[in-house]
Amino acid sequence: MKRSLFFALCTMVILACLPAFAQGQQPVRKLIYSLEAGEEILQPESAIAISATKESLTLVLSKGKGEKGPFFVFRNGQKKGPFTKLKEAMAAAYPSQDESAGIFRNCSDYTPDQGLLPPDAIPSTEGDESSGQTIIFKGKTFGPYLSVFAVMATPDGSRAYFAVNEKDKVWLICSDGRKVFIASAPDTIKISPDGKNAVVACTGSLSPSEMVKLIASQPEKYNAEMNKKYVYTIDGKKFGPYGMDFKDFWFSVGNNDFFFLDGNQLYMNGTPTLTLKIEPFSPCDFYPSADGKRYAFFTLENLVFSDGKKYPFPLSIIPFQEGGQTMIKWVALENNKDIVVYQRAI
């Protein structure tokens, strides 16, 4: 999933304490372009896209103030212009109708794309609450259940996970046979990138019918129960209760550990890992290494690594796996003039 750079600017994370990690390393650095005196990048009109193997930069530049011009275009390593009108510069920047402006960065919060699965590996729910609901996955039927709360398939389509109400008990079930009691209905299921783990967060610990009874008989107790959060894994681990400060839970791209945030405390696999000052914190902006021992994150001004190294805030960023390591590649404006591509292991 991609998030616009402009939404990223509202994210600020400042670590109150940093664990001692390995010494910093020098990233691979490549200069793409240096702004001339008086030049500025028109960000809404420019496009920056990167992958593990290449980068594509189309820069629309102004040598005046904002949209007054004159304008220049940097594309495919060459500079064109001047153009007296922005419309002319845009035509030179994007000669193909398939191209468009935009500076994006990859969100680290892992969300599998169910649309990429073959049809038989996309779980479907049939029936209703009166007759019972069943789940169809790869030709096999699961259920019937009183109700189905959430269903999600793994990235490779080999497994499906679902949360269901069976005889007034809520379960998290995997199509491979694993089944764990989770007490209350979850809103969503999060799956690890390797597809072997699934996690849910539940409000309260009462069954659906117990919740209904409590609303009518003891509303104060019901409200107290609704302020409790629990985290469950498909392998039977339970964490909590946490209170109103419980904010989010997720898996990150390239990492099979699960994370959740309670107040300013970040947990990894249920263990307190980092203390954060949050204004606010976004899972999109936290990039852990494959083994979970190192990480990178955004502040308002920098990309910061767990070894203490800081770099200018990235215009675009992508994490990927290479040689058993989690790598980060990003594009930044350095020294207010140099467009630079960096790459280093977390």
CA distance 135 to 78: 55
Distance, CA of 283 to CA of 270 (rounded, Å): 16
Residues in the chain: 346
Q: Which residue has the higher pLDDT, 213 or 72?
A: 72
Question: Poorest-confidence range of 66-70, 75-79, 239-243?
Answer: 66-70
pLDDT tens by residue, 221-239 = 888 888 899 999 999 999 9
CA distance 95 to 90: 8
| Tokens, residue 223 | 């409200």
- Residue 278's pLDDT band, with cuts at 50, 70 and 90, is low
Q: Using CA atoms, how far apart are residues 172 and 151, in angstroms rounded to an integer?
A: 10
Cβ atoms of residues 224 and 237 within 8 Å = no
Residue 337 has pLDDT above 80, yes or no: yes
